[in-house]
A and B are shown apart, each in its own frame.
Chain A
């Protein structure tokens, strides 16, 4: 059994005082002094850009109207240790994929130099649009190369590209076509498609290695903005400032204070909440006529708006995301929730007597973890364990006898149907971890719409989460909010997300423990956690794989 439900008594003892300390310290977040061990380090990684990072890069360098209409030529990632982002460290590109990379590159390059954009996007005008202009080409390619590959182009590379632009201008009779062909080369190069980290020796820790400044800039920027470093961050890297405490702190603070931080936080939670499911999620229109594809997309947006508002705008306790009554509402979602709403997105507070509170009662979570035609306590319970507590529920064994489930065909409620799971020993081990949590959400159907009964039968939503009993939705929400693994799971996921690959339970343990203690001591403030991670030694020190 690989379910990770093994917080030792000693660990609980450690965490409890920290939780108390956290509530005291909440008045003064980010002022807690806990020293990092000094041993933290992570391996170098070569991550493929995710589809969103590809789009963000093109939009950041050339503008949103260039990236619009270009489908990022990035394959789906394998969810690895709970994150698609960690899959990016392992995914490879087939020949078929590379051909799509080339087509996207050609489409981007063609738009950049077309008559609508060239005057804005090129830093110079060629002497003649019908002939090569090496100086102008060099200006453009040096800038574009820096921003696209996230480090300055080597002189030899730049010269090669300029030479290509000249040659192509000759062949096509157009400076701009020539320039576009050189830009295409950058956009199909592995240095663009992969975030390849590089190391150098660390003068402050003889014999040890650290990320070079440009690699660190990329880690920071993709963590906090889900986008490549901007010119200012690259310039700071070029000046060596990211290697000084003051320089790093200043850079991190600038990124944290930027409105683009919301993009980064959204991307992280979209990944952690497994919202990629929404790409193919659909509900049976015969059963749930009110829930269309557009409704589901808004449900996803509602949750992300709530997360960003709670964690960034309000700088509130992460754990309260699971109990908060505050959210946002749109006209399309309002009928699903049975509440009124105005135009666009408006702040909304669920009524005190509403069963809705926290992320578990959002339509996004409830609908994504259900079947197209009915709810699934098992899927929901599994999602609570895996998404929020980082526990892994094994697959069903292959030799299960399903006869008992058949006999439950006439059952009115899911609880009656699933009763067989607890009576069959080969099912009970895992299902007793999943089903009670999901059954507690049975007041919401497969589309997340509230119901008082199922097939006319009353619903019993009582259960327990690792020893904490509940018989109401607020009870479930509180049990999850106060579960010790809730915080450690977030820390674990964020660490993996930021450092570009799955954590090593052995080698990253100290860093994770330290971050978790800091997180608790800071009142579970996400912004402070981001800052701690981004400025930690583990984030920039390199260890062999």
Chain B
């Protein structure tokens, strides 16, 4: 038996023994928005994303009026109940420069990572939620959470770069088990008993890392980076173990939901809607219970294959093959799909607004960034791609506005969002997408 080992375990255990984890000062500073729960606990800031597929029918999507009290053309009529909580951004551009226009791919990749991809397999940079989670995610059990309403684990707009994708939860039941299963510590429970195994787990991690570091000697550069990433993940585990040994702060809006039924696979619009709402409810409850402060909800993929009962073309096929009705001025079935998406966006925003926190709602303490992959999908256009935001980020953002981007980079919204979340960045995006210009009209 190596005495060194025991000493290392004890050292780890002692570190772990300091069970009240002091957050780094910067995180505390940036993570609070000045508002407080009834008991005086500061309310943290949250960042969320939402995505829908295949853009819009401009003629019936873009309001005529900009600024406050904007009109709601028929394709976005479903947003009426949440208009005061959102901003709509139109006439913003995504630039590909010398990169190819990868259909249904370039648009969302630029808006999420700031960089135009060179190939379909290429995932440049890291996505905005990952950058924000580095700042906001350290105080919660999950740095970030992703869920998809498509039932397909491959549908994710969240990645750390290269081949490292944050896999979304794709079934309501699985999401429930992950969030509220055995490891869930109810912040409102009267008692708190830390599991003695957690302390051992934490001390054991250093052993894994030290021994496994030897692997680096036999790996090439690219594989060494993958191993380094693995160790980063293990260090994050240490952080989580610390949290498990810390009594959680009470959260007034947190209530353990019942386990959901599981749903069949399939992309029928009604089924997708049901899945989206179940997963939204679970995901947002996890936010209300402070299990995460960064969350991604994926309504439809870029090549959205959602189907409409009685119509033979899935959404993506319809965008290309359906004629623009000369009288209506848009593609009726394609627009039907977009309207369904807007109903779900409204549901998501409403659900955030319905969680009470302090004097306001969860939405008041969040900023939500919503994107799509094309502007006019029929021609694979990415110019004038629409975006939404929701929430005031703790009173820092004005809502209820329609902003005309005048052809400036869509990345301005992502840049603004990151600044709001406390990221100290001077600019964001690559080449023509680079911006250091916040969307000042929305800042309070």
Contact = CB atoms under 8 A, between A and B. Distances in A.
Contacts of A285: 268
B81 to A, nearest CB: 31
B204 A374 contact: no
B199 A171 contact: yes
Interface in A176-229: 177, 181-182, 184-185, 188-191, 193-194, 196, 198-199
A92 B145 CA distance: 18
Interface string A270-286: 00000000011110111
Interface in A154-174: 154, 156-157, 159-164, 166-168, 171-172
A184 B166 contact: no
Residue of A172, A184, A280 with most chain B CB atoms under a 10 A cut-off = A280
A284 B309 contact: yes
A199 B261 CA distance: 50
A351 interface: no
A190 B225 CA distance: 13
A396 B103 contact: yes
A97 B167 contact: yes
Contact of A181 (B174, B200, B320): B200
Interface stretch (A34-42, A98-106, A232-240, A529-537): A98-106
A372 interface: yes
Contact of A93 (B164, B311, B378): B164
Contacts of A166: 1
B218 interface: yes
Interface in B346-391: 378-380
A163 B266 contact: no
A92 B163 contact: yes
A185 B323 CA distance: 59
Contact of B1 (A159, A184, A398): A159
A44 interface: yes
Given A99-B240, A160-B211, A282-B265, 12 more contacts: A94-B160, A97-B166, A99-B142, A160-B5, A161-B207, A163-B2, A163-B9, A279-B153, A279-B265, A282-B264, A282-B266, A402-B378
Interface stretch (B84-92, B229-237, B407-415): B229-237
Contact of A92 (B164, B312, B323): B164
Interface of A: 44-46, 71, 75-76, 78, 80, 87, 90-99, 101-103, 106, 134, 154, 156-157, 159-164, 166-168, 171-172, 177, 181-182, 184-185, 188-191, 193-194, 196, 198-199, 279-282, 284-287, 293, 371-374, 395-396, 398-400, 402, 405-407, 409, 545
A163 B1 contact: yes
Given A97-B167, A185-B207, A395 B2 contact: no
A75 B165 contact: yes
Contacts of A167: 6, 9, 200, 203
Nearest to A409: B323
Contacts of B201: 102, 106, 181, 184
Given A44-B220, A95-B143, A164-B204, A281 B233 contact: no
Interface in B215-267: 215, 218-220, 222-223, 225-227, 229-230, 232-234, 236-237, 240, 264-267
Residue of A159, A193, A194, A373 with most chain B CB atoms under a 10 A cut-off = A373
Contacts of A159: 1-2, 5
23 contacts: A46-B223, A90-B226, A93-B229, A94-B159, A94-B233, A95-B233, A96-B143, A96-B144, A96-B145, A98-B233, A98-B237, A99-B237, A101-B233, A159-B2, A163-B6, A167-B203, A188-B237, A190-B212, A196-B219, A280-B265, A293-B264, A372-B307, A398-B102
Nearest to B232: A95
Given A279-B152, A398-B103, A156 B219 contact: no
B190 interface: no
Given A90-B162, A160-B5, A373-B312, A181 B227 contact: no
B101 interface: yes
Contacts of A172: 196-197, 200
A87 B163 contact: yes
B321 A402 contact: yes
Contacts of A405: 320-321
Given A76-B154, A95-B143, A168-B200, A395 B5 contact: no
A154 B211 CA distance: 10
A189 B211 contact: yes
Contacts of B167: 75-76, 96-97
Interface in B133-186: 142-146, 150-154, 159-160, 162-167, 174, 183
Contacts of A102: 201, 237
A157 B207 CA distance: 9
Nearest to B234: A98
Contact of A402 (B204, B230, B320): B320
B208 interface: yes
B305 interface: yes
A398 B183 CA distance: 47
A87 to B, nearest CB: 7
A102 B239 CA distance: 13
B12 to A, nearest CB: 10
A321 B6 CA distance: 60
B64 interface: no
Contacts of A281: 265
B24 interface: no
B321 A406 contact: yes
A213 to B, nearest CB: 15
B310 interface: yes
B322 interface: yes
Contacts of A99: 142, 233, 236-237, 240
A286 B103 contact: no
Contacts of B223: 45-46, 196
Given A94-B233, A293-B264, A406-B323, A280 B151 contact: yes
A99 B218 CA distance: 25
Contacts of A46: 219, 223, 226-227
Contacts of B305: 371-372
B237 to A, nearest CB: 6
Interface string B285-319: 00000000000000000000101011111100100
Contacts of A177: 197
A438 to B, nearest CB: 15
B233 A93 contact: yes
Contact of A94 (B164, B225, B237, B323): B164
B65 interface: no
